[in-house]
């Protein structure tokens, strides 16, 4: 593997744009057997920041502009006109290098739903082998669901926390069963999350896929290079233009270009390259290569609503982080044993449950953190507090990604359009009320002094919705902005084989191709998509 900042007019078999969860996977797999010369082009730097590799460093990377795009949505009328912060990875590993490490695949029904758009090759039975191939499961693995020799280490949390144990016990008293493996036979239930960690350190796509490839002479990685355009000859992708260190550069692809820049930047690059809604492109002075209305449409995301509770004893990570002695203790614990709060990230407890009366499978997910702060990644509160974050798994509300202008360095316009659907609003109310029932039940109720946010006085449906509009935030899972579909689907951007419709030598492999959002965190599904496309190309 060569890391080269200046590769001008070079020839490759495949060019992969974006070194995130999917892009690292594709680049590593396509270069694996030595047949193809592959370039991986990333806008951000190498993953050298120590905060990336420390699981609790997630709170630092969320605001680090060197490795984070630090995007904001447009003012959202459904969210009291607020602009909502959207962190996105800009570094080798992409979002897998800065995310919350939660290892969730979604529900089997998600992929069976995808089969309605992409055929049986996308049903759960047929994507499961790609999940297994990517995984090295560090627990007692059921071989039907888990892999043991893949690049990404998935580790169950072994060290139990009394607060999470209390949360689980209270959920059990409400009839929610324990689930030791959310990626096993069923997702429904409550338990500890598994994390993408290995020996107390982050197992990102860059660590898992790129590091083992470092001796490959046929893989070139170009960092700090912003791709500005895909070049075409007729309807065939021929290469890319990019800028690095203020210089305009290009590279050429003999076999094709794979876009893996994510659900925000892939449609942005497509439109900059002339593929998108024709009227929108013309309005920005961009020559239309293909009128494709689905580019940048159908944006889905998980909205999180955070409840914060104060405890009656020093039991949370807040207490350790607010004390010099506590900081030294957890620092030494991690240095000596690779365990403790620094080794498990922010969210440890998980729950998948149904809140709507007609739900046939879980429609909400909880992330339970043993700390609290005014905002994700912010300074922890001075009291002993914890957070229950509620999100709807399959929102109906959808938005768009659009160009602000034709300048590639100007971020695109994100219209998230949260809570636009009545169903989404009702699920938000139901999720908040379920969280409160858990906090008021059994062992967790014995630890809680009061609800700090939104506060007990916020109890009516109208009050809860106003809280959601004023405080809701992304939980960092945008999808579906270049969704897959059949050739006769006018809103589809890619075919079931992930080739852009009507083009040769141009594929997309990232969360933007998802026809519907998955029921959970998106890192593992993005890696699976990369595995599936690579296998398709190689075979």
**Alpha-carbon distance 15 to 381, whole Å?**
46
**Which residues is 451 bridged to in the sheet?**
309
Q: Are 220 and 395 within 8 A, CB to CB?
A: no
d(C-alpha 398, C-alpha 527), whole Å? 23
**Best CA proximity match to 104, nearest among 213, 189, 8:** 189
Interatomic CA distance for residues 20 and 338, integer angstroms: 26
Sign of CA dihedral 490, 492, 497, 501: positive
Is 477 labeled as catalytic in the residue annotation?
yes
Residue 287: name the closest of 232, 239, 338, 225 by CA: 232
With a CB cutoff of 8 Å and minimum separation 6, the contacts of 282 are 288
The whole-angstrom separation of Cα 3 and Cα 534 is 22
Q: What is the dihedral of CA 435, 436, 441, 443, to 10 degrees?
A: 70
Residue 493: strand, helix, or coil: coil
User: Is 230 among the annotated ligand-binding positions?
Assistant: no
Pairing of the two strands 10-17 and 247-259: parallel
CB neighbours of residue 248 within 10 Å: 10
Give the span between the Cα atoms of 199 and 219, in whole angstroms.
Answer: 28
CA nearest neighbour of 493 among 252, 271, 166: 271
Q: Where are the beta strands (DSSP E) in 223-334?
A: 226-233, 236-244, 247-259, 275-276, 290-291, 303-311
The one catalytic residue among 161, 268, 381, 477: 477
Q: DSSP state, 208?
A: I
Specify whether the CB–CB gap between 242 and 39 falls below 8 A: no
Compute the distance between CA of residue 389 and CA of residue 537 in angstroms, rounded to an integer. Answer: 39
Q: How far apart are CA 327 and CA 333, in angstroms?
A: 10
Q: Which pair of tokens denotes residue 112?
A: 């069976």
User: Is residue 227 part of an annotated ligand binding site?
Assistant: yes
Annotated binding-site residues read: 91, 227
Residues annotated as catalytic (active site), given as ranges: 477
Annotated binding-site residues for FAD read: 91, 227
């Amino acid at each position: 593997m060569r890391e080269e900042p200046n590769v001008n007019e070079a020839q490759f078999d495949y060019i992969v744009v974006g070194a995130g969860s999917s892009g690292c996977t594709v680049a590593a797999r396509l270069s694996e057997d030595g047949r193809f010369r592959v370039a991986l082009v990333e806008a951000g730097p190498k993953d050298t920041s120590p905060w990336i590799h420390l699981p609790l460093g997630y709170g630092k990377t969320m605001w680090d502009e060197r490795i984070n795009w630090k995007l904001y949505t447009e003012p959202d009328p459904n969210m009291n006109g607020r602009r909502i912060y959207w962190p996105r990875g800009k570094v080798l590993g992409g979002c897998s290098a800065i995310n919350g490490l939660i290892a969730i695949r979604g529900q089997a029904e998600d992929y069976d739903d995808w089969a309605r758009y992409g055929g049986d090759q996308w049903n759960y039975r047929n994507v499961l082998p790609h999940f297994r191939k990517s995984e090295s499961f560090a627990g007692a693995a059921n071989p039907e669901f888990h892999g043991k020799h893949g690049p990404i280490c998935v580790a169950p949390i072994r060290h139990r926390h009394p607060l999470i144990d209390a949360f689980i016990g209270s959920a059990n008293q409400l009839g929610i069963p324990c689930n030791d493996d959310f990626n096993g036979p069923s997702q429904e239930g409550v338990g500890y999350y598994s994390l993408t960690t290995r020996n107390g350190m982050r197992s990102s796509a860059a660590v898992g896929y790129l590091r083992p490839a470092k001796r490959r002479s046929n893989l070139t990685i170009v960092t700090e290079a912003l791709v500005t355009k895909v070049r075409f000859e007729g309807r065939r992708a021929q290469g890319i233009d990019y800028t690095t260190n203020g210089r305009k550069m290009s590279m050429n692809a003999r076999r094709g270009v794979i876009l893996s820049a994510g659900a925000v930047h892939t449609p942005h690059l497509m439109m900059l390259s002339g593929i998108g809604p024709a009227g929108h492109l013309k309005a920005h002075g961009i020559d239309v290569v293909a009128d494709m209305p689905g580019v940048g449409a159908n944006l889905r995301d998980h909205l999180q609503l955070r409840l914060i509770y104060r405890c009656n004893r020093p039991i949370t990570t807040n207490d350790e982080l607010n004390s010099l002695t506590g900081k030294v203790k957890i620092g030494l614990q991690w240095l000596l044993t690779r365990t403790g709060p620094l080794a498990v990230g922010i969210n440890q407890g998980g729950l998948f449950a149904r809140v709507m009366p007609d739900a046939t499978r879980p429609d909400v997910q909880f992330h339970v953190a043993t700390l609290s702060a005014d905002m994700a990644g912010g300074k922890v509160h001075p009291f002993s507090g914890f957070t229950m974050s509620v999100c709807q798994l399959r929102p109906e509300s959808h938005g768009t990604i659009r160009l602000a202008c034709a300048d590639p360095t100007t971020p695109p316009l994100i219209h998230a359009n949260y809570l636009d659907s009545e169903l989404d609003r009702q699920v938000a109310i139901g999720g908040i009320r379920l969280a409160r029932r858990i906090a008021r039940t059994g062992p967790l109720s014995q630890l809680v002094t009061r609800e700090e946010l939104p506060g007990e006085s916020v109890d009516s449906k109208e009050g809860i919705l106003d809280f959601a509009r004023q405080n809701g935030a992304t939980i960092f899972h945008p999808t579906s902005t270049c969704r897959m579909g059949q050739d006769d689907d006018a809103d589809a951007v890619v075919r079931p084989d992930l080739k852009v419709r009507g083009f040769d030598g141009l594929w997309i492999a990232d969360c933007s191709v998802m026809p519907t959002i998955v029921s959970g965190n998106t890192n593992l599904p993005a890696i699976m998509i990369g595995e599936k496309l690579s296998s398709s190309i190689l075979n």
